[in-house]
Amino acid sequence: MNLVVLGQDIETRLLKTLAKHTGAERIEQIHPTAFRIVGALTREGVAPLCEEASVDFAFVPSGRRLDDFGLFVTDMDSTLIDIECIDEIAFEYGKKTQVAEITEAAMRGEMDFRESLTRRVDLLTGLDVSALETVFEERLNLNPGAHELMAGLKKAGIASMLVSGGFTFFTERLKADLGFDFAYANELEVSDGKLTGRVSGPIIDGEAKAAHLVRVRDEMALPADRVIAAGDGANDLPMFRASGFSVAFRGKPVLRAEADCCLNHSGLDAILDLFE
């Protein structure tokens, strides 16, 4: 195994401590914000050492290369972008507090996602559809490293998929802007320029996200271990389990517990540094 350490200020003392603790062979610098501790044993105690130093880490099989992967799949809200779109849409209607409380409960895994989405979208009944454009133009920002991540994936020949329990209004625009190969999300129903409080078609929940991953993976004739998945909430668990390597980006505890890598301090482009 290799232990990859990621962060803005990685002290030599920390690297030496980690190398000794894991019985590693040597330390290699990937670049100033990423180091590979070669031949490390997966031992307890690494996480608290890294958290105390405000750096991220992951144990990665030796010899695993970025171009071994063929598909990258990511969630949208609070993973690729820095907002929950439905919460910001609700802000335009004066209902952000009500909607955000339901969003948080769902992301922590305390509420069924389908129920939470139905309840939240219902609260938006009658809102002018122009509010979505306002959110996209004025409130939506990419999380750090998103552009660099997409460029690195393309360079490595890895296909990319954006799959979200959010809305097609946003995923389709991000697909075009960032060059995703695939994008799937819920479609808000609109009548006379206003939201009806319903979604059109099947709801994209955690299981549906995983189903899209598996379908595209199979169409590309890829085994699960050639898929990277990234997300932040409980409804990303099914696609984590359908992938070969999973990354929790600023993830909720329920997701961090199952992730191969937790990025709490680094940008999305740190995913590129995990592999040789």
pLDDT of residue 109 exceeding 90:
no
Question: Are 218 and 246 spatial neighbours (Cβ–Cβ below 8 Å)?
Answer: no
pLDDT of residue 110 exceeding 90:
no
Helix 168-178 crosses helix 146-155 at what angle (to 10 degrees)?
60
Here the tokens at position 184 are 């799937």
Q: What does the alpha-carbon distance between residue 182 and residue 175 come to, in Å, rounded to a whole number?
A: 7
- In which band, very low, low, confident or very high, does the pLDDT at 113 lie, cut at 50, 70 and 90? confident
β partners of residue 58: 4
- In which band, very low, low, confident or very high, does the pLDDT at 123 lie, cut at 50, 70 and 90? very high
- For residues 82-95, average pLDDT: 92
* Annotated catalytic residue within 77, 87, 236, 273: 77
Here the tokens at position 63 are 């010899």
- For residues 237-253, average pLDDT: 96
pLDDT of residue 79 exceeding 90:
yes
Q: What is the pLDDT of residues 213-240, one digit of tens each?
A: 999 999 999 999 999 999 999 999 999 9
Q: What is the pLDDT of residues 9-38, one digit of tens each?
A: 899 999 999 999 999 999 999 999 999 999
End-to-end CA distance of the chain: 12
- For residues 178-194, average pLDDT: 97
pLDDT of residue 112 exceeding 90:
no
Residue 175's alpha-carbon distances to 70, 108, 150, in angstroms, are: 18, 27, 11
Here the tokens at position 132 are 């979505």
pLDDT of residue 104 exceeding 90:
no
pTM: 0.94
Q: Are strands 261-263 and 245-249 parallel, antiparallel or unpaired?
A: parallel
Strand, helix or coil for residue 144: coil
pLDDT (0 to 100) of residue 73: 98
pLDDT of residue 66 exceeding 90:
yes
pLDDT of residue 244 exceeding 90:
yes
Question: Are 4 and 22 spatial neighbours (Cβ–Cβ below 8 Å)?
Answer: no
Q: What does the alpha-carbon distance between residue 71 and residue 54 come to, in Å, rounded to a whole number?
A: 29
pLDDT of residue 138 exceeding 90:
yes
Catalytic, 77? Answer: yes
Please tell me the least confidently modeled range out of 53-57, 60-64, 107-111, 219-223.
Answer: 107-111
Across the chain, the runs of DSSP E, i.e. the strands, are: 2-6, 26-31, 34-38, 56-60, 71-74, 159-167, 182-191, 194-200, 227-231, 245-249, 261-263
Strand, helix or coil for residue 59: strand
pLDDT of residue 257 exceeding 90:
yes
pLDDT (0 to 100) of residue 103: 85
* Annotated catalytic residue within 75, 205, 232, 269: 75
Q: What does the alpha-carbon distance between residue 58 and residue 145 come to, in Å, rounded to a whole number?
A: 18
Q: Collect all residues with Cβ–Cβ distance below 8 Å to 63 and sequence separation of at least 6.
A: 276
Mean pLDDT value across the chain: 95
pLDDT of residue 265 exceeding 90:
yes
Please tell me the least confidently modeled range out of 87-96, 137-146, 175-184, 264-273.
Answer: 87-96
Here the tokens at position 255 are 């997701």
Q: Are strands 227-231 and 71-74 parallel, antiparallel or unpaired?
A: parallel
Q: What does the alpha-carbon distance between residue 84 and residue 229 come to, in Å, rounded to a whole number?
A: 19
- For residues 128-157, average pLDDT: 97
**DSSP secondary structure letter of residue 82:** S
Phi, psi of 29 (to 5 degrees): -90, 125
